[in-house]
Amino acid sequence: MKGQRSATPNPNHKHPKSTKSITISSTFKQTKKTLISNIPKNLKSAKTLENPSSPQQSLNWVPLNLSKSELFLPLTLPTGQTFRWKQTGVFQFTGVVKSHLVSLKQLDNGNGDVVFFVHKSNDEFKAREVLNDFLNVGISLSEMWATFSASDLRFSEVASCLGGARVLRQDPVECLMQFLCSSNNNIGRITKMVDFISSLGEYLGTVEGFDFHKFPSLERLSLVSEDELRAAGFGYRAKYIVGTVKALQSKPGGGAEWLVSLRSLDLNEVIEALCTLPGVGPKVASCIALFSLDQHHAVPVDTHVWKIATRYLMPELATARLTPKLCIRVAEAFVSKFGKYAGWAQTVLFIAELPSQKALLPTNSETPQKQKSVRTKVKESATKLSPFIFEEPNS
């Protein structure tokens, strides 16, 4: 894009140590403090969760053949892409993929290998297949990170510390409903709303005090009234969910099939189609496109992403006011810089701005006082706005 340029190096900037010097174990140590602080009260104590003799450790965990460089759970599951996975251990998360109830765990074994356990499934082989699909394992992060780092200074600065931040490939109906809940909202409220919707589906089991359900079908969702959703705390979002369910049911072949069919279209066509649904604007549509419809170059743009873009990609626009046209320019700038996986790059750059992740980054030019302030905000950030929560139009 004309006028676009790479981030200009700061002469006072202290370059971070090489990737090799930032070990997996050190990242684990820093992340572990955050994860322990975020463990819900209804779970076992951190000591019990780390005790090799505990029931958690006796489960028959199966290797997923992914190391931390390809999948780091704390940077993938709780960062705002999905609100259906629960932290059920220090490095363990549990959720439902299709009809399969599974737990994922990161091993502190030097490589950060990921293992999984199927709690309930009619077909464990199928469970692994859909889990791999959900995790987008066919896409290599290592190769992508190397390409991005070579072309962008800021990405090269954060890549060694934020490796394994993977973009998910969710079920489109599930993703759509979650992001209808996300508009102008915070993680705590979104999670409660998503939990309510999920509870309408088939019960699959309980893990560490959390009940898990198969996501309800559109037919089941159509039985829920706007009044019921408002009573459950959905507010104005209730009418959008009811309206979207009705709109999807009117689609030829069914709404679920219609959403999946969008995976074969160009991004502009996908955004246009999604924006015909009640409550879906361009930004939420971009999230759905990126996290469920194979539109890897979709870049959701809000004021936070705008700040990143003007700081590192388009500094000449730093004093401008964000408008719909500039949203398009920002997305184009990311695509121009990072190509067909621009949405993945934007995800990492945004995660790097979260207070909970700044403690993992090289100190660079931050003062000790600022670094300490960042560390104290780690736990607090878990309840603040997610990277992909946006204000949407009220009509």
* Helix runs in 39-111, H state only: 46-50
**357 membership: H or E segment, kind and range:** helix 355-358
Distances (CA, A) of 61 to 7, 58, 168, 372: 43, 8, 22, 37
> C-alpha 243: how far from its chain's center?
25
**149 membership: H or E segment, kind and range:** helix 141-151
Between CA 306 and CA 383 the distance in angstroms is: 22
Catalytic-role residue among 86, 105, 214, 283: 283
Residue 344 near residue 296, CB atoms below 8 Å: yes
Q: Helix 324-338 vs helix 141-151: angle between axes, to the nearest 10 degrees?
A: 110
DSSP-derived secondary structure letter, 232:
T
- Supply the DSSP string of 283-347, one letter for each residue: HHHHHHHHHHSS-TT-----HHHHHHHHHHT-GGGTTSPP-HHHHHHHHHHHHHHHGGGHHHHHH
CA atoms within 13 A on the CB side of 183: 24
Between CA 162 and CA 47 the distance in angstroms is: 26
Between CA 178 and CA 118 the distance in angstroms is: 24
Strand locations in 14-99 (E): 62-66, 86-89, 92-97
Instruction: Establish whether 283 is a catalytic residue.
Output: yes
Residue 295 near residue 265, CB atoms below 8 Å: no
Phi-psi map region of 94: left, alpha, beta (phi>0 left; psi -120 to 50 alpha)? beta
Write out the catalytic residue numbers. Answer: 283
